[in-house]
């Protein structure tokens, strides 16, 4: 590879971010914000839905919850039904795909978001795989976003992950 930027015609559109929040310090906001920032510079991504940002816009301050517990969230006025309802609505109305973080396996919320995407026939990718496509130093098909649309990159059904 000669180090030149690779241009692509791949259009990802609007991407939704999912990962475990409950039980992780500050509801995993640092991961969500860092990942959203990286995705926002990827060619072909129009909009990134970061649920942590939307929770803040709805009046919840996850940074006031150092342990990321449901008790802290409830005390801070967080309404899980309202948040999930708004998130699922955004998925139904806007999403073109989902990126999940490393802790999604034990997150009921993320599993529900994966199910929404699968029900709509939308792709789901793990962040570790999606990210490698855009890193020039990777040995896994460097910088070829078209690979993300091959069936080998599609997320498995959720049957084995229901909790």
Q: Residue 52 — very low, low, confident or very high, per pLDDT cuts 50/70/90? A: very high
Cβ-contact 102, 24 below 8 angstroms: no
Give the domain ranges of the chain.
13-160
Cβ contact 49:14 at 8 Å: yes
User: What is the per-residue pLDDT across 77-86, written as a single tens digit (0 to 9) for each?
Assistant: 999 999 999 9
Give the pLDDT mean for 90-107. 95
pTM passes above 0.85: no
Fold designation for 13-160:
Rossmann fold (3.40.50)
pLDDT digits 0-9 by tens, 114-152: 999 989 988 888 898 888 776 655 444 434 555 555 544
Reported as half-sphere exposure (CB side, CA atoms, 13 A), residue 37 has a value of 6
In which order are the strands placed within the sheet that holds 13-18? 45-49, 13-18, 97-100, 124-126
Closest by Cα among 7, 88, 8, 104 to 49 = 88
- List, in sequence order, every residue forming a beta bridge with 47; answer none if it has no partner: 14
């Amino acid at each position: 590879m000669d180090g030149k930027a690779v241009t692509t015609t791949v259009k990802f559109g609007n991407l939704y971010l999912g990962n475990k929040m409950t039980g992780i310090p500050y509801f995993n906001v640092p991961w969500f914000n860092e990942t959203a920032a990286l995705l926002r510079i990827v060619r072909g991504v129009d909009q990134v839905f970061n649920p942590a940002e939307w929770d803040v816009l709805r009046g919840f301050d996850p940074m006031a919850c150092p342990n990321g517990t449901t008790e802290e969230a409830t005390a801070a006025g967080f309404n899980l039904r309202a948040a999930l309802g708004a998130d699922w609505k955004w998925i139904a109305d806007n999403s073109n795909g989902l990126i999940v973080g490393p802790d999604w396996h034990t997150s009921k919320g993320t599993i529900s978001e994966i199910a929404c995407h699968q029900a709509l026939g939308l792709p789901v990718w793990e962040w570790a795989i999606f990210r490698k496509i855009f890193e020039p130093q990777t040995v896994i098909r460097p910088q070829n976003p078209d690979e993300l649309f091959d069936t080998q990159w599609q997320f498995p059904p959720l049957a084995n992950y229901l909790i």
